[in-house]
Amino acid sequence: MIKSTITIDVVLDEKRVPEEINWKASESTADSVRKSKAMMLSFWDGAEKTALRVDLWTKEMMVDEMGDFFYQTLMTMADTLDRSTHQHELVREIKHFAADFYKKFREAEQKQHKH
């Protein structure tokens, strides 16, 4: 059996706000620690039938980056659902929602910067 370990280190400031998020996976092709400005980690608790989550972002994460991050996360979640359930119509709906979300997010950002 092969074991893979994922290590996540979060550096917090004095107010416990993340300053750095660093991660490394033992089975990754990357040899060094990878830096990140944000992360979303979900676990499924089969006994409780609940999702357990850790969502963190650093002070350096910009609002426009958060929009990109959410869009890409929604798209990859749709891909995961497709591979695991083959619910192609639902996958299309999620991807349509993600595209609509991203369009509205960008429009809201543009309006905010005009004022």
How far is residue 62's CA from residue 43's CA, in Å, rounded to a whole number? 26
Task: Answer yes or no: are the C-beta atoms of 76 and 53 closer than 8 Å.
Answer: no
Average pLDDT, the chain: 95
Last residue of a domain, one of 21, 44, 61: 61
Confidence of residue 55 (pLDDT cuts 50, 70, 90): very high
* Average pLDDT score over residue span 25-50: 93
pLDDT surpassing 80 at residue 30: no
Task: Verify that 28 and 5 share a domain, yes or no.
Answer: yes
Residue-level pLDDT at 32: 87
Query: Which domain does 53 fall in, by range?
Result: 1-61
Burial of 114 (0-12, 13-18, 19+ CB in 10 A): exposed
Last residue of a domain, one of 17, 37, 61: 61
Residue 106 has φ and ψ, to the nearest 5°, of -65, -40
Task: Verify that 55 and 79 share a domain, yes or no.
Answer: no
pTM higher than the cut 0.85: yes
How far is residue 107's CA from residue 7's CA, in Å, rounded to a whole number? 37
Residue-level pLDDT at 62: 96
Task: Verify that 48 and 69 share a domain, yes or no.
Answer: no
Task: Verify that 98 and 70 share a domain, yes or no.
Answer: yes
Task: Verify that 78 and 46 share a domain, yes or no.
Answer: no
Please tell me the total count of domains within the chain.
2
Last residue of a domain, one of 44, 61, 78: 61
